[in-house]
Structure 1
């Protein structure tokens, strides 16, 4: 899975096809299930930006329009969140649910583009227009039709999906499309795994029992926020935006390590009691320290919450967040030894519902709209990963505005890569560019030296932390 942004995604020109979803015969029913915590945060600020995630993959030959229309219909019926929607009602927001079997999909006349740049711009505008947070549907179902090789592409408002969902959607659509191309019946989903609905998950979240106010995990959360004046931590280097200011979003997408180097670093981190993610966090803290940002890097990181079997192949925003402080030591081995135990403790803190943390704080207003965070996804273990290279699968995010830095680390068969989001100011470009260069240098040096560096006895024992991958409750 190639993780990128829409300004970097330039598909070959062709005919852009978009399927409309007619819900006129599917009278919506108002649901008693409230938005999840993530959805509530997202919807509260959704008027100011278009935050969507898209997925694409390649298929041979021209698009079979009948088969893809049936595949999209089956995808909507399969995943509960895709036949639900949000609408404003007075001062509140309510969820509506539609009967997926009463929905009708129809492909509109195509739009042709003469160049890859023109196709990118047409597609970008179409995604912005379709993937709105309120109303139904909150997504775009499309394809780029070409005689020899075509691209299936769809995008979704963030309220309905997370990064993990992109791989599920690619896997489901790939299966459904090819089954419908070779059959006239409507049972193409019969051999996909059984799943639960994210709407049901939201109901379970609403009924979740609160933990005790004296629970050590909740107290650790409160101490973390106390250290930052009751606010989430921000990126410690100058980004060129003041409090209350935003700037156009800057983007950096780069590979950090090739597959061999990534394996070497993974082994190095494991021998020092940490995980690959812990090693990258250690390198980030070391880079910040080198650049004058202080000896400690505090941040939030997202974890997926697909713990039960019904949710593992379900589309939705299954994430929470956890807090961590990472010390910027002089070498990566020592840093990994310190970060491993901290990461394991942080994962335990992720078991505390974020809504309860905020309630215990008495509420808070973040200093910035964006939340400084570092996400990690190992795409090799997600549904359909064995096909990602063969079908040129992409996870594509929008580009909007920014007032803090955010980083998405991805591991694939091609190694380790990082996508960055930050304010596109002179200071922001210099700070984030210098930071990423330092991280790149630290990780590369560690892999080169891994065979010669003697193992130092771990400070707090072995065992690598394995935070669950996904995107968290942050703007993207």
Structure 2
């Protein structure tokens, strides 16, 4: 799975057809299930800036030959019916946001006439326009489908407003949609989508989250949360190097996508981390902390990191926004191996803090103080472990995000069979560009140096 952004996505030209969901024939049923914590934050941000760029996630994959348009439309509708969050939406009712549930059988699709486009930029612009129009936080289901038809090999893309999906969901949509499309194409009118494994509904997860009345005040991890935010004056940590933005300012988002380590070097780096009881994620966080330290950012790098909450098998095939956050501080030691050895236990302890719902943390600390809108965070996803991973290379699968605006730096580390890659989002200022060039170069050098050290040690033994 290649992790990128729409401005870097470069599908070959072809004939583009796009579909949006039409809920006009469905009245929708108002639900007492409130938005999840993540959804509430997302919807509040969208309501505060209704003219802003929507935040959506999309996945794409390739299929042999031209696209069977009837088969992919049926597959798209079956995907929406399969996942509860995809046939739901949010409506503003005065000062409230109400979830509306739609009967998937009442949903229709609006299809655009085919357009044969001859340049990569024209295809990209068409896709971005379709995603912007369809993947909206309010109204009907924010889902979008597009195909780029070619004689030899074609591309299928499916996007969603962020309220309904997370990064893990992008692997699920590729797996589900590819299998549904293959079934409808092979058995027109006879394929039964129920042959896919059962998928629970994220709406049910939201109901459980809303009904969770456990008392976490005496949870052993709550003191750690309180201590973490007390050290930062009740503000989330910020990227510790200068990004050239005044307080309260935002800038157009800049993007960097690069390979950190190839497959062999990634395996060597993983072995080095494992020797000290640490993970690859802890290793890359350590390389980041050293890069920050090299540039005068101090010897401690506090950061929040997202992690999925699919803690039972019930949710493993469910699309939705199943994430929470945990805090960790990476302390720079005398060398990178020593930092990695200390970071491993710190990350493991932080993971346990993710058991405490964020709303309970905020209640305990008295809420967050105003700071940057974005949160300095470092995500890690091992796509090799997600549904359908065995076919990602064959399908040329992509996870694609929108490009909006930014006021802090955010990082997405992805591990695939091709190695370790890093996508970075940061404000597009001259200072930030120079900072990121130096920082990202340093991360790569530290990771490569540790790989070389481990390789040399292996040869010596």
| TM score, norm. by length of structure 2 | 0.96
Q: Does 2:262 correspond to 1:255?
A: no
Q: Aligned to 1:314, what secondary structure does the other structure show?
A: coil
| Counterpart Cα distance in 2 of 1:285 and 1:211 | 35
What is the deviation of 1:215?
Answer: 2.3
What is the deviation of 1:318?
Answer: 0.3
Corresponding residue number in structure 1 for 2:433? 429
- Unaligned stretches of 5+ residues in structure 2: none
Corresponding residue number in structure 2 for 1:126? 130
Q: Aligned to 1:8, what secondary structure does the other structure show?
A: coil
What is the deviation of 1:211?
Answer: 2.9
Asked if 2 retains the 8 angstrom alpha-carbon contact of 1:211 and 1:352, the reply is: no
Q: Aligned to 1:396, what secondary structure does the other structure show?
A: strand
Q: Aligned to 2:380, what secondary structure does the other structure show?
A: strand
**Worse-matched range after superposition: 350-359 or 110-119:** 110-119
> Could you list the per-position Cα deviations for residues 344-399 of structure 1 after superposition, in whole angstroms to 9, with x for gaps in the alignment?
11001111100111111212234101000000000001111111000110000111
| Counterpart Cα distance in 2 of 1:133 and 1:249 | 20
Q: Aligned to 1:81, what secondary structure does the other structure show?
A: helix
Corresponding residue number in structure 1 for 2:42? 42
Asked if 2 retains the 8 angstrom alpha-carbon contact of 1:85 and 1:134, the reply is: yes
> Aligned ranges for residues 355-366 of structure 1 at < 5 Å?
355-366=359-370
**367, 379, 383: which one pairs with 1:379?**
383
| Counterpart Cα distance in 2 of 1:281 and 1:35 | 32
**Worse-matched range after superposition: 19-28 or 77-86:** 19-28
What is the deviation of 1:21?
Answer: 2.5
Q: Aligned pair in 2 of structure 1 residues 135, 59: CA closer, same or farther (>3 Å)? A: same
Asked if 2 retains the 8 angstrom alpha-carbon contact of 1:305 and 1:320, the reply is: yes
Asked if 1 retains the 8 angstrom alpha-carbon contact of 2:282 and 2:340, the reply is: yes
> Could you list the per-position Cα deviations for residues 250-305 of structure 1 after superposition, in whole angstroms to 9, with x for gaps in the alignment?
11000000000000010100001100001001111111111100100000000100
What is the deviation of 1:149?
Answer: 1.4
**Worse-matched range after superposition: 153-162 or 361-370:** 361-370
| Counterpart Cα distance in 1 of 2:113 and 2:146 | 12
| Counterpart Cα distance in 2 of 1:330 and 1:129 | 52
| Counterpart Cα distance in 2 of 1:119 and 1:150 | 13
**188, 193, 213: which one pairs with 1:189?**
193
| Counterpart Cα distance in 1 of 2:276 and 2:190 | 52
Corresponding residue number in structure 2 for 1:270? 274
**Worse-matched range after superposition: 368-377 or 136-145:** 136-145
Corresponding residue number in structure 2 for 1:460? none
| Counterpart Cα distance in 2 of 1:162 and 1:229 | 29
What is the deviation of 1:106?
Answer: 4.7
| Counterpart Cα distance in 2 of 1:238 and 1:108 | 45
What is the deviation of 1:453?
Answer: 4.5
Corresponding residue number in structure 1 for 2:16? 16
- Give the total of aligned pairs: 454
Corresponding residue number in structure 2 for 1:461? none
Q: Does 2:410 correspond to 1:390?
A: no
> Could you list the per-position Cα deviations for residues 205-264 of structure 1 after superposition, in whole angstroms to 9, with x for gaps in the alignment?
001133332322111101100100110000000001111100110110000000000000
> Aligned ranges for residues 154-233 of structure 1 at < 5 Å?
154-185=158-189, 187-233=191-237
Q: Aligned to 2:20, what secondary structure does the other structure show?
A: strand
Corresponding residue number in structure 2 for 1:318? 322
Q: Aligned to 1:45, what secondary structure does the other structure show?
A: helix
Corresponding residue number in structure 1 for 2:90? 86
Asked if 1 retains the 8 angstrom alpha-carbon contact of 2:426 and 2:432, the reply is: yes
**The structure with more helix, counted as a fraction of residues:** 2
**Worse-matched range after superposition: 376-385 or 100-109:** 100-109
| Counterpart Cα distance in 1 of 2:413 and 2:200 | 28
| TM score, norm. by length of structure 1 | 0.93
| Counterpart Cα distance in 2 of 1:366 and 1:266 | 38
Alignment RMSD, CA only? Answer: 1.3
Q: Aligned to 1:359, what secondary structure does the other structure show?
A: helix
| Counterpart Cα distance in 1 of 2:171 and 2:94 | 36
Asked if 1 retains the 8 angstrom alpha-carbon contact of 2:293 and 2:332, the reply is: yes
**Worse-matched range after superposition: 181-190 or 11-20:** 181-190
| Counterpart Cα distance in 2 of 1:326 and 1:209 | 33
- Unaligned stretches of 5+ residues in structure 1: 455-476
> Aligned ranges for residues 393-432 of structure 1 at < 5 Å?
393-432=397-436
Q: Does 2:270 correspond to 1:243?
A: no
What is the deviation of 1:108?
Answer: 2.6
Asked if 1 retains the 8 angstrom alpha-carbon contact of 2:21 and 2:144, the reply is: no
Moved over 6 A (4+): none
